[in-house]
Each structure stands twice: as C-alpha cells, then as structure tokens.
Chains A and B, each alone.
Chain A
Amino acid sequence: MVSRAARLYIGLVVSVAAVLVAILSHQAMVHGDFYPTQKHLAPMAALITLQVLFLVCDSGTTPMTSRQTRWSPSSSATLAAVVLLGPVPAALVGAAALLSLQRQLRLAERMFNAAMYALCGLAAGEAYVACNGPRGLPDFSHFRTILLAFAAAATVHVIANHGLIWGVHRLNRERGMWTRDGLESSLALLLASDLGYAALGLVIASLWPIMHWFAAALVLVPLFVARWAMAQFAEQQRAYAATMSALSQAVETKDYYTRGHGDRVSRGAVMIARQIGMSTDRTEAIMFAGMLHDVGKLGVPTQVLQKTGKLSPEEFAAIQLHPKRGLEIVSEIGFLFEALNGIFHHHERIDGLGYPMGLAGHEIPEFARVIAVADAFDSMTTTRSYREAKSIDFALGELRRGAGTQFDPVIVEAFIAAMQEEGWELPAPAGKPADPTTVTVKDHDDPTAPLPVVEP
C-alpha cells in the first residue's frame, strides 16, 4: 500500500503541476506566445502528434535490467515539443500520460505520472528557453546554440524525472510499485540510456521541416526494435532462471528429504542480500549460487549419504569434498567470481573450524557467509528422516546461538530482520517417502545434529 507520506507527496506534486501549468498557460495566452507562429508549422497538429507519440512510447515500458528498473523512451516526444513548441505545450505532451495505455495503472498512478511528466516538460522547456534555445522549426545555422540548449533541457528532464520518482520510493519504502525505480545499481546505465533516447527529441525536431508528423513515426522504428530486443532479453532471462531452478531440483531427486532445498536457500540468501543492500547484479548471482550450492553432493557416493551409524573419517572426507565438486561443475558458467566463492566456501565457520579451507572471520567471502545462514535455517525448518521440522523461532534461536562461532552475527541479524519484514513460507511437511532408496539418514547441513564421525 501507499504510505500516508507518499500520498501527501503525490497530492502535492499533482497540485503543483496543475497550478503551474494553469498559470503559465494563462500567461502565455495573454502574451499570445502559447506556441510559436511560423509558416510550415501547424502547432496544434504538432502538439497532438507529439502527444500520440508520447502515448505510443509509453504504452509498454520495457524492463531494462530487472523487474524494477524500467525504461520508456517517451521523453523524446516531450523534448521534441520543447524545441518545436515551447515549455507549456511540452507540459501538455507530458500530461498525456494520464491517458496511458498501460491498463494496470491505477488512477492515482496515472495522475502522478501525468503531473510528473508535465513538470519535467515544463522544467526542460524553461531550461531550453533560459539557454537561449530558439523555439519553432529549428534553424541549424545556429547549431551550437541549439545543441547546448537542448542538452540542458534533456539533462533537466532526466534529473526532474528521476528526482520526482525517487521521492515516491523514499516515502513509500515499498519497491516495485511504480513503473520506475531509480535506486538500482544500474542507475548510471539507466541515466545514460535516458539521455541517449532524449537525443531523439532533437532528431524529431530536425526532421520536422521535411516530413512533419512522419518524423515521429520514423523515429518509432528503432525505438520499437530496441524494445523488442529488451523484451527478448527479459524472456531469455526468465527462461534462464527457470532452467537453473529445474536443473538444481534434478540434482535433489536422489535425496527425498532435501527436495526444494536449493530453491529455498536461494530465496533466503536473496532476502539477506536485499537486507544488507547488495547490488542487483550481486543479488542475482547469489540467487544462482544459493540454488546450486549443494550440486557437488552428486559426487558423493550414495552409500555414504545413506549410511546409518557413524561415518569413517574417509567417508566424512568424501562429504567434505562436496563444495569442491560443486565448484568443478559450475566453474565454467559465466558467473560472477563471487558466486563460485559462495559455493566453494559455504561450509566454512566464523571460528575457522569449517571446511574445505578452514577460513575464519572475514576471510570467508560474503556470499559464503550469507549462504551458510540460509542453508542451516532451511535444514532445521524442514523434516529429516531422524526428526520432525523445527519451528522458525527455534531455528532463528539456533542461528543466534551460533552467531560468532559458526555464523557471521551481522548476517544472522540481517536474516532475522528480513524474516520479520517479509515472513517465510514453510514447505508442506514431507510425508513418508514412496521410494525408500531416496532417503539419506543424515543431513550435513543440520547444525543441531552434527555428523557422527568415528574418532580416529
């Protein structure tokens, strides 16, 4: 839900925009320069064309990097209006967002978007005028002046746009509600692409004397191709994640009680990553690392995993080898180096008594410390052949008890905080396995029941 502060903010933005546009258009009407009067420029037709262009550009914003960062090239229409018509018409082009073709938008969102784009158009227009940019069909014998003024206008537009949206996110504290999120790690990329597409505004304005409205249609072609490519990218990304998840589950079919373990560890690791403010790229990498962290268990002989009674030191060593096996399997994947580290070191302990390397404290890579916490938590809260699932509170208590010896206290606290905010959905309790050959007797991840090993 929208917080009260955010509501107030939205109301404020909408009323400021309405008042400003009303006053300025009244002034412009009085002075008779609402838009420039020029031969070959039909201002009313141009205004409507640019509004249509705005709506078409806005019809499907495309995910740029993740679900939350979206990109829509509609600013090119507003900025073309800045050059051809002036500040107030530019605001009116932006206000067309009220009629946005995105059906899922609610009225409040539409009004905010319209007000925001109107303010952006107004600000950009004023910046253009302030830098002596000539309004109307551009005369490019003064190319340098026009280019400088346009660059100022585009910069102001981008800043105003992201600034106003940032306000909503700041007050709302909920991510992903609004069509754009300027707080992603890829902010620089987003800003650059916004500026890149803003330049199309000048291209439209320069072609206008030759082909009028058709200039807007022509510019749409590369825009739509780029959007198509981004849509393909998003689709591939989803397919990729789904395939990873399916393959990580395939690895788990051998062991009845740990099915779904990879997916849940991945979920927990992502919760922690968000809580400690990891960037989007790293969060994505830790998601995959969480999924695949136990993939190396495939290299451990089944009879060792299923052995009842104490393990010989050799058998224990075989289990301790599984992070290395996992690393062998995934090392060729084009992952972040950190994800590989996370898989290799996820059984290290803060006190240095873990395996495979016996690293201690902050020698252990951050990814591994995160995965270790999510890993132990899921092991405790799911049923094992030798015990029922423990409660969430019990498991969190165990994590706290192990903080400083087995786990990184900062990560444990972050996980508990994330749990309180987002909650945790426990898997359905496992019944009796249909196939007794898929039961392992011990779980190497369970901190409440260390593996029994014969003393040498």
Chain B
Amino acid sequence: MSGETIARRAAPARMAYWQALDSGRILLMAASAMLVIAAFAGMAALRPTVHVRVALAFGAFIAFGELFRLALPGGREAAPIAMVGAMAYAMLLRLPGQRGPITYDVLLVVAVAAIGMAVGALPHIAAGRPAGLTGMCTRLVAVSCVAFIFWPIVSAGLFRLRWEVEFAVIAVVFLVGWLVDALVGALIRADDVGARFSVAVRDEIRLQWPLGLSVGASVIIAVFGAEQIGVMELAVFIGPLLVTQLAFRRYAGIRATYLQTVRSLARVTEVAGYVETGHSRRVSRLAVAVGRGLGLAEPELLALEYAALMHDIGQLSLRDPIPGGATLLVGPDDRERIAKLGADVIRQARVLNDVAELVQYQSRPARGHDPAPPLGSMIIKAANAFDDMVGGSTDRNRSAAALERMRLDPMEYDAGVVAVLTDVAARRVPSRL
C-alpha cells in the first residue's frame, strides 16, 4: 500500500521497461554500474585485506534493510536500515581489539553495499514486487560519495584526536551523503512527475529530514558502538531501528488510506447521478498536473487534489441533479451557492480548512473580484470547465475548442492557468477510467 499522493506518469503497459527510462534514470544507473564495476575490478586487482566477518555482518544488515523498505508519502520508497548499515560501514573507525584505525578501503565499501542491496532486493523480485532499482542506485551513489570523502580524512590520520572531533567529522560527512541522496532523489522525481527541480528539491528535503536526522544519529551510534562492542552491536541495534521504521510506516499507511478514502467517497456524486462517471478523478488529475506545472509544493498539491476530488460535493444538497452534472450550465449565483455548500461540508471536518477554501472559491471569476480567488480555486475552475466541455474524450479538436473558449474569457479564467492547462492537455493520454 504505497502512498500514491502524486500519481506517477505511468507508462502504457505494453512499453518495455527500458523504454520508460528517462535521461536522469539512465545517468544514475550508468553511474552506479560504473561504481560497481570499478569496485569489483579494483578488488580483483588489488586484493586488499578484508575483514570477512565485518564485511559479512554489514552486508547482511544492508540486505535486511533493503528487505524491509519503507513506503513514504508520495509514492516514495526509502530503506533507512540499509542506509544506516551502509553509511556506518563506510565510516567505520575502529573495532575492539585493534589498535589504530582499521585498514580502510573505499572499493570494499562500494562492493559490500552493492552486494547487500542486491541480495536484499531478491525477495522483492521473487515476490513479484518492483525491485526498486532506482532507489538502490541512489543509495549506492550516496554511500560511495561518503566513502570517497571519508577516505582521505582517515588517511590523513585525523582520528588520533578526541571523540568530539570524530563525531563532528562523521556528522558532516553524513550530511553531505544525505544531501546527495536527496538531490538525486529530487532529480529523478522531477523527471517522473514533471515537476520543477527546485520545487522537487524543497519537497524532498522537507519530507525527508526527520528520517534523515534519525538515520544520521543512528549512523553515529553504530560507528561508536562498533568500536566498543564490535560488529555484534548490529544485532542489538536492529530492534530500535525497526520500531522507528514501524512508526513511519503507520504514518505513511494512514495517509495513503486517507487519500484513497477521499477518492472513493468523491464518487458518491457520480453514483447519485449528479455528475458524469469519472469526472472528479479526471478533474483532480488535470488540476494536480496544472498545479505542478505552476510550481506548487507538495502540501499545496495535496490540498488541491483533495479539493478537486470533492469540488462537486455541494451538489449533494440539490434536490435533483443538474442535467449531465455540468456546473457550467447553471447560473453563476447557483454555482457560487453549490460551491459554498460544498465548502461547508468540508469545513465540518475541521481539519481541511485549506481544502474548503479552495472549494468555496472554485466558481469565482479570475478577475474583477477583490480579493482574487486562491490559485488552487482558479486551477479547479479551469480543470472543471475543461472536463465539462471535453469529458473523457481525447478528440484534439474538441479539446482545442474548449481551450480556445477559455482563452477568450480572461475575466473568467486565469490566463497563466489556461496556458499550463493547454500544455497538460496536449500531453493527455486516454483515461482508463
């Protein structure tokens, strides 16, 4: 049950996997492949001394973490436990019974992380779930960055200093690694959903920082714990990490259920014959795409999606359905009244006041009113009008005529919104509803 807050741009089923790849993904995968090849080639050529027990322990920990991945809101996937294992292995300082830093090898870190991730992904593949290659590559690149930065610092012998210095260095290097992870994630996501990169970065950081903080603290604990206990610490440490992950999983789960419920219940207007089948869902898809094109951040997009799904809920108070459900066909006063009724319904929940606001002003003209309606309302207004005129049809002439009609009425429809809607409509694929 992944939180599909933002629907990914799904490739048609008949497309082969590689055809759905875009440039960011290809770049990422090429980089990871090169890292893996370099690691194994280097290992074969240089034959560094390997602490087999240590490598096995961390490899197993990483595999375990990949097995128990975490679905985050917005259809994201993280593997915090694998991240803790890999980062801690990359920054391992000392083990008990050893004087001085352990012999350290960047290539070994990359190789162990790659093998651990691959092993952890096998059960997912066996169970028919997606392997999550993109996420693994992102993590591998981040871990490699950490290892490559950390290596010269260790070699310079910085670690004959106090533990506070070690602590600070580990924290900073981790932060760099985490930022790499977030940036690569944002890059892929911007490609996937068609968002602006700057907005995607901000979304990623806002959503990921609590988990990142937890992972960072855990990495530091793991590094120093290994110095005291040795690799067996990982067995002790897995318990608290799992509980933390459980907390996040429940959070993501309820968010997904919430959205799914609103999506289903928005259909009551369709079952009752107030609007055409699929109308709410089509309007919400259009609205979210337009909102993303206009650079809205994820929380705003979520409110927009809820508002678009429920925009016709006010019609439930009408005694008889409007013919065809098209609110475009009733007078402006009635439209205002229906919108207000809908907003009142949503306000009763007391938790979705921003959504209610968007619903309330969905029929207000873009110009000539003070204050102007919120951007979200103008987007819903345009998306709703477009769907009332075009419906599920993909006839280009019909769509062009509808857009033209909206373009010619700048008092009613915001010109910027209509411009983005035109782009979105051009990309539209036949709805499978």
Taking beta carbons and an 8 Å cutoff, which residues of A are in contact with B? 138, 140-141, 143, 147, 189, 192-193, 195-200, 202-203, 206-207, 209-211, 218-219, 221-223, 225-230, 232-233, 236-240, 242-247, 249-251, 253-254, 295-296, 298-299, 302, 325, 328-334, 437-438
Our pick among A143, A197, A239, A251 for the contact of B230 (Cβ within 8 Å) is: A143
Q: Mark B89-104, 1 if CB is under 8 A from A, else 0.
A: 0000000110000000
B228 and A298 contacting across the interface, CB-CB below 8 Å: no
Q: Chain B's nearest CB lies how many Å from the CB of A272?
A: 24
How far is A321 from B131 in the complex, measured between Cα atoms in Å?
Answer: 44
Our pick among B228, B251, B313, B346 for the contact of A232 (Cβ within 8 Å) is: B251
| Stretch in contact with the other chain, from B143-151, B211-219, B391-399 | B211-219
How far is A331 from B267 in the complex, measured between Cα atoms in Å?
Answer: 11
How far is A189 from B262 in the complex, measured between Cα atoms in Å?
Answer: 29
Write out the residue numbers on chain A whose beta carbons fall within 8 Å of the beta carbon of B351.
Answer: 238-239, 242-243
Write out the residue numbers on chain A whose beta carbons fall within 8 Å of the beta carbon of B352.
Answer: 239, 243
Size category, B interface: 35 or more
Q: Is B220 an interface residue (CB 8 A)?
A: yes
How far is A242 from B348 in the complex, measured between Cα atoms in Å?
Answer: 8
Q: Chain A's nearest CB lies how many Å from the CB of B54?
A: 15
- List 12 extra interface pairs beyond A222-B218, A239-B349, A296-B271, CB under 8 A: A143-B230, A195-B239, A210-B163, A210-B224, A221-B216, A222-B244, A239-B351, A240-B257, A247-B268, A295-B268, A329-B271, A333-B261
Q: Is B198 an interface residue (CB 8 A)?
A: no
Q: Is B264 an interface residue (CB 8 A)?
A: yes
Q: Is B272 an interface residue (CB 8 A)?
A: yes
How far is A354 from B348 in the complex, measured between Cα atoms in Å?
Answer: 35
Our pick among A192, A218, A329, A438 for the contact of B220 (Cβ within 8 Å) is: A218
B229 and A143 contacting across the interface, CB-CB below 8 Å: yes
B316 and A334 contacting across the interface, CB-CB below 8 Å: no
Q: A222-B214, A334-B260 are in contact. Are A140 and B271 (CB under 8 A)?
A: no
Instruction: Kindly count the residue-residue contacts between A and B in the assembled complex, taking CB atoms under 8 Å apart.
Output: 188
Write out the residue numbers on chain B whose beta carbons fall within 8 Å of the beta carbon of A333.
Answer: 257, 260-261, 264-265
Write out the residue numbers on chain B whose beta carbons fall within 8 Å of the beta carbon of A221.
Answer: 213-214, 216-217
How far is A445 from B332 in the complex, measured between Cα atoms in Å?
Answer: 39
B258 and A239 contacting across the interface, CB-CB below 8 Å: yes
B262 and A203 contacting across the interface, CB-CB below 8 Å: no
Q: Chain A's nearest CB lies how many Å from the CB of B427?
A: 26
Taking beta carbons and an 8 Å cutoff, which residues of B are in contact with A? 1, 96-97, 163, 167, 210-211, 213-214, 216-218, 220-221, 224-225, 227-230, 232-233, 235-237, 239-244, 246-248, 250-251, 254-258, 260-265, 267-268, 271-273, 313, 316-317, 319-320, 345-352
A328 and B228 contacting across the interface, CB-CB below 8 Å: no
B213 and A206 contacting across the interface, CB-CB below 8 Å: no
Write out the residue numbers on chain B whose beta carbons fall within 8 Å of the beta carbon of A223.
Answer: 240
Write out the residue numbers on chain A whose beta carbons fall within 8 Å of the beta carbon of B242.
Answer: 196
Q: A210-B163, A219-B221, A228-B210 are in contact. Are A203 and B236 (CB under 8 A)?
A: yes
How far is A147 from B258 in the complex, measured between Cα atoms in Å?
Answer: 42
A140 and B319 contacting across the interface, CB-CB below 8 Å: no
B96 and A140 contacting across the interface, CB-CB below 8 Å: yes
B221 and A207 contacting across the interface, CB-CB below 8 Å: yes
Q: Chain A's nearest CB lies how many Å from the CB of B367?
A: 31
Write out the residue numbers on chain B whose beta carbons fall within 8 Å of the beta carbon of A138.
Answer: 228
B228 and A209 contacting across the interface, CB-CB below 8 Å: yes
B319 and A233 contacting across the interface, CB-CB below 8 Å: no
Write out the residue numbers on chain A whose beta carbons fall within 8 Å of the beta carbon of B346.
Answer: 246
**Leading 6 A-B pairs by shortest Cβ distance:** A196-B239, A221-B217, A298-B272, A246-B349, A225-B214, A239-B351
